[in-house]
Structures are given as C-alpha cells and as structure tokens.
C-alpha cells in the first residue's frame, strides 16, 4: 500500500513522461479556467465585500444569451462571423444592463446592511437568473459558437519524451485569453482611478462615501466587469462541452480556488486556480485509481483544507484582524 501511494505514482511519472506533461497541461488549462471563474468572485468581493453566489449562473446566463442572440441574427440572414460578433457586443450590453439592475434593485437598497444580507441577496439574483434564463432559452443544451468567434479547433501534436503530447488549440486560446484578461484586470485595479476607488470601497463603504467616491457607480463597474469575466468563462467552458445549465455546477470548483488564493486577491485567484487545476489532475491520474477513481471532485477541497489549516486567509488574502 505504501509503495502504491509513495513510490508507484512517481515511477509512472518517470516511465511515461509524455503523459506527465499531458497531465500538467490539462491541469494548467483547467486551472486557468477555474481562475477565470474565481476572478468573477474576487472582483465583486473586493468591491463590495459580498461573496457573489450568482457568479456561476452569470456564466451560464451570459453564454446562453450569446448563443441566443447568435441564433436570432443567424436566422435573420447575418453571416456566421458577423452574427457572432454582433451577438458578442449585445451580450456585453445585456451584462451591463444586468449590472445596473443589480445595483439599482438589489445593492442600493441594502447599503450598510450586514454582509450576510448582501450574500443572501445574491442567492435571490441566482434564482431570478435561473428562472429568467430557462424561460427565455429553455433547457436544451446549445453548441458554443466557437468557430464563428474565430476560436481555433483541432490540436497541435508534439512528439516529445518518447511519446506524443496533444495541445488542443481551443485550450491554448483559453490560456492566452484568460491570461490577457487577468493581466488587464490587474492593471485596471492597480493603475486606474476607478481601480483605486474600487479598492477603497472594498476597505470601507462609509469611508469611501465620505471622500466622495460614488458607491453606485463602482458597483455597476465591478458587476459589469464580473459579467464580462463570466461571458469569457462561459465561452471557454461552453466550447469544451456545451452550453447548458450544467455549467453552473462547474462554478463550484471556484470555491477551493478562493479558499486557497484568498477572496480579495486577483493574483491569488490565478495561483489558486493553477494549484487546484494541476493538483486535482495529478491526484486523479496518479492516485485516483488507488481509491477507485473519481477523487477529483473532493481532492480540490482537500488541498484547500490543508491550506486553510495553516493560512486561513489564503495565500494572498488579507489577514483580517477584528477588535473584539
């Protein structure tokens, strides 16, 4: 047993290095995609101190809206690429309207309420979006319009280490797009006036208001940014499978990422995503068979739990000191 746990997996890694590289690559891609989901949570938490339970359904809603618009424009005679990009712009518009509605209808009336009230309000948003999405788009799965958005298909197969490692082009695109998006958001937070205002709001609503920062404007901006992140996440995850309400449960994978990276840190979301993504793939592939397989679903939480024991605020999260 000890051999199977501590020796055999490493022997396998040495014997089949191509599969190790493939596993690391798959973990990296999953990690980047988890990071994207986690980023949506972090953005909103930073700005409002709210854990946005609706982030998962925002991923589904934005992807369904995109495909829904595409189908309408396609049926109206627009060419594939034109219909796709018009749909993309309109979907971004819908996410902006959603951000305004959330701010106006949900957040504004709840200013200065305890965090748990705002958290519960995001449950409400979740169920409204589920109901509205199902009413408008139905439950049928839809195909993501990846090729219409010029996302590549097929794979790049590279002979290395005595075997073949296959890199899916859509995965490469996902990694590049996610990296650009994350870098852009990090710059936005650190270097722009709105970014600084956003961090001020995260520290204290009252203090931010007292120096003239418009809380309402910041909330719209941040929910819109989270909506755009959700849209990109929906496109990437949807291209890997299909666009359906099943995507919502993928968002649960962001929870251990957040525990690991910290709820307030953009770099934390990235590093956390990568650790979870790579960790669970290695765990499932090399140690999963010892436990009958299927350990991926809890392995991420086990990693997060270990971190939690030693660093409750996560790798990059702020240590919270409260006066009691």
* Interacting residues toward another protein by CB under 8 A: 16, 19, 22-23, 26, 29-30, 130, 134, 138-141, 143, 153, 155, 166, 168, 237, 240-242, 244-250, 252-253, 280-281, 284-285, 288-289, 292-294, 296-297
11 or 97, CB closer to another protein? 11
Residue 249 CB, nearest distance to another protein (Å)? 5
Rounded CA-CA distance 171/29 in Å is 6
Burial 264-288 (b: 16+ CB within 10 A, else e): bbbebbbbbbbbbbbbbbbbbbbeb
Residue 288 CB, nearest distance to another protein (Å)? 7
Distances from the Cα of 80 to the Cα of 8, 77, 232, 288, angstroms: 50, 9, 19, 43
80 or 141, CB closer to another protein? 141
73 or 286, CB closer to another protein? 286
Rounded CA-CA distance 104/71 in Å is 30
46 or 142, CB closer to another protein? 142
Report the alpha-carbon angle 230-33-146, nearest 5. Answer: 70
**What is the chain's length?**
324
Other beta carbons within 10 Å of 79: 10
76 or 309, CB closer to another protein? 76
Residue 85 CB, nearest distance to another protein (Å)? 22
Residue 317 CB, nearest distance to another protein (Å)? 24
93 or 294, CB closer to another protein? 294
19 or 315, CB closer to another protein? 19
Residue 151 CB, nearest distance to another protein (Å)? 14
Residue 55 CB, nearest distance to another protein (Å)? 15
23 or 265, CB closer to another protein? 23
**DSSP-assigned letters across all residues of 87-132:** HHHHHHHHHHHHHHHIIIIIIGGGTTS-HHHHHHHHHHHHHHHHHH
Phi, psi of 214 (to 5 degrees): -80, 110
Residue 95 has which token pair? 């996410």
Residue 294 CB, nearest distance to another protein (Å)? 3
Residue 23 CB, nearest distance to another protein (Å)? 6
Distances from the Cα of 2 to the Cα of 12, 259, 287, angstroms: 15, 30, 12
Rounded CA-CA distance 51/54 in Å is 9
Which among 46, 55, 106, 82 has a CA at the least distance from the CA of 232? Answer: 55
């Amino acid at each position: 047993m000890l051999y199977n746990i501590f020796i055999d997996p490493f022997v396998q890694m040495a014997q089949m290095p191509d599969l190790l590289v493939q596993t690391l690559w798959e973990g990296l891609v999953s990690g980047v995609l988890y990071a994207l989901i986690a980023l949506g949570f972090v953005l909103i938490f930073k700005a409002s101190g709210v854990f946005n339970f609706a982030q998962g359904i925002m991923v589904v809603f934005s992807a369904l809206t995109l495909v829904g618009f595409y189908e309408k424009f396609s049926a109206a005679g627009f060419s594939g690429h034109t219909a796709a990009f018009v749909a993309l712009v309109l979907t971004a518009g819908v996410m902006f309207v959603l951000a305004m509605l959330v701010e106006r209808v949900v957040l504004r009336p709840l200013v200065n309420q305890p965090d748990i009230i705002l958290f519960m309000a995001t449950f409400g948003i979740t169920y409204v979006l589920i109901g509205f999405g199902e009413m408008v788009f139905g439950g049928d799965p839809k195909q993501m319009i990846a090729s219409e958005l010029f996302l590549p298909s097929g794979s790049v197969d590279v002979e290395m280490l005595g075997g073949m490692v296959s890199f899916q082009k859509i995965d490469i695109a996902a990694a590049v797009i996610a990296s650009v998006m994350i870098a852009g958001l990090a710059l936005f937070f650190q270097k722009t006036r709105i970014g600084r205002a956003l961090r001020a709001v995260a520290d204290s609503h009252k203090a931010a208001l007292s120096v003239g920062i418009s809380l309402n404007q910041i909330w719209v901006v941040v929910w819109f940014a989270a909506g755009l992140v959700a849209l990109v996440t929906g496109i990437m995850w949807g291209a890997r499978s299909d666009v359906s309400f099943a995507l919502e449960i993928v968002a649960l994978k962001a929870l251990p990422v957040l525990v690991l990276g910290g709820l307030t840190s953009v770099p934390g979301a990235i590093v956390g995503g990568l650790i979870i993504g790579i960790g669970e793939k290695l765990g499932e592939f090399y140690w999963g068979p010892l436990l009958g397989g299927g350990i991926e679903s809890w392995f991420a939480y086990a990693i997060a739990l270990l971190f939690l024991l030693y660093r409750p605020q996560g790798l990059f999260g702020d240590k919270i000191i409260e006066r009691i």
